């Protein structure tokens, strides 16, 4: 995709670009660069990026923080009529949390062959949750590749 | 097990009883009564109980809070040489978090047929994590049964 091409507001690409901006913040903080936003009625109600290093906490994935923040915004535990945009396929922990939240839709960019939730049977998601993958997958995975290349070079 | 029987310190029953005490706190706060402790070198380094209602947050399971608290105590993200005692079989989200934490051992009381992590293939746990189930399972499930009986009666 041409970086300069206009992106319609309220499109999946628009919201995924916001998630990528969150991932960039993680990258800049030397965290594995994953970002997420939660959208409800075309409005971003939560933004988060991975903070596992800064918080010294394996549970501080972008999705986990986005779920907590979105529930806080909505004043209820369940993310009905909400869509999570996340740059990387959620891991099993995050999929479990998204199941408890009964989120309506999950849209992820890059696939995570090694840690992604789609490896598991039965599906860890809530049966009513819709999943879309591959939105801006190149842009989503670019930061992650760059992060690990940089890490390896500094070894 | 006779409630009045002495329990050796540093036994699995001793630590599970501590987890049941945490579950009782959840029960008293009208939360689904699940409790957990993390033990490292025979010392309890974290205690937690389910707080999903009070915190309005599906991620606030006893285990999740115990992982975060134990990592905070240890000053590192990984729970190597730690044992989690939890009254109920962890759900998939908590199993995923315990995998990221690379916890050495998980000991749970009651089985959760519907939501427990053992339903999933491949195992969501870290390959080196040892699992023991059924320690004080009657005592562990008693509070949960009582909780749901009370709920149904109040409907």
Q: Is the pLDDT of residue A120 over 70?
A: yes
* 3.40.140.10, 2.60.40.420, 3.40.630.30, 3.30.930.10: CATH of B12-154: 3.40.140.10
Does the model's ipTM exceed the 0.85 cut?
A: yes
pLDDT at residue A10 in the model: 85
On whether any CB of chain A is under 8 Å from the CB of B143, the answer is no
**Binding site residues of B for Zn(2+), as ranges?**
61, 91, 94
Residue (of A117, A119, A111) closest to A99 by Cα position: A117
pLDDT of residue B151: 87
Residues 99-138 of chain A with CB under 8 A from chain B are 99-101, 119-122, 124
Contacts of A30 (CB under 8 A, 6+ apart): A53
Nearest CA in chain B to A65: B59
Q: Does pLDDT of B1 surpass 60?
A: no
User: Cβ contact (<8 Å) for A99 and B77?
Assistant: no
Instruction: Name which of B79, B97, B98 to mutate to probe chain A: the one with the most chain A Cβ atoms within 10 A of its Cβ.
Output: B97
For the cut 90, the answer to whether the pLDDT of residue B82 exceeds it is yes
At B2, the pLDDT band (50, 70, 90 cuts) reads low
Mean pLDDT of B9-19: 94
Structure confidence at residue B84 (pLDDT): 98
- A4 pLDDT above the threshold of 70: no
Reply yes or no on whether the pLDDT at B5 is more than 70: no
**Which secondary structure element, helix H or strand E, spans residue A94, and what is its range?**
helix A92-100
pLDDT per residue as tens digits for the range B111-136: 999 999 999 999 999 999 999 999 99
Closest-CA distance of chain A to residue B51, Å:
12
Task: Kindly list the domain boundaries of chain A, sorted by start residue.
Answer: 12-154
CB atoms B68 and A91 under 8 Å:
no
Read off the DSSP letter of residue A80: T
User: What does pTM read for this prediction?
Assistant: 0.93
Tokens of B93: 């989200």
B35 close to B20: Cβ distance less than 8 angstroms? yes
Res B122: pLDDT: 97
B94 touches chain A (CB under 8 A): yes
Closest CA to A108 of A4, A6, A16: A16
> What mean pLDDT do residues B65-90 have?
97
Q: How far apart are CA A113 and CA B43, in angstroms?
A: 38
Taking only the tens place, the pLDDT of each residue in A58-93 is 999 999 999 999 999 999 999 999 999 999 999 999
Instruction: Give the residue from A94, A126, A116, A119 showing the smallest Cα distance to B122.
Output: A119
């Amino acid at each position: 995709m041409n970086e300069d091409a206009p992106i319609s507001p309220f499109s999946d690409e628009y919201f995924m670009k916001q998630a990528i901006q969150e991932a960039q913040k993680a990258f800049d903080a030397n965290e594995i660069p994953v970002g997420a936003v939660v959208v409800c009625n075309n409005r971003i109600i939560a933004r988060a990026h991975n903070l596992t290093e800064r918080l010294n906490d394996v549970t501080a994935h972008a999705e986990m923080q986005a779920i907590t923040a979105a529930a806080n915004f909505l004043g209820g535990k369940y993310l009905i009529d909400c869509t999570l945009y996340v740059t990387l396929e959620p891991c099993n922990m995050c999929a479990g949390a998204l199941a408890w939240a009964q989120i309506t839709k999950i849209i992820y960019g890059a696939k995570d062959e090694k840690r992604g939730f789609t490896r598991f049977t039965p599906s860890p998601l809530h049966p009513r949750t819709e999943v879309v993958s591959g939105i801006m997958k190149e842009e989503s995975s670019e930061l992650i590749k760059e992060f690990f290349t940089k890490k390896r070079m500094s070894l």
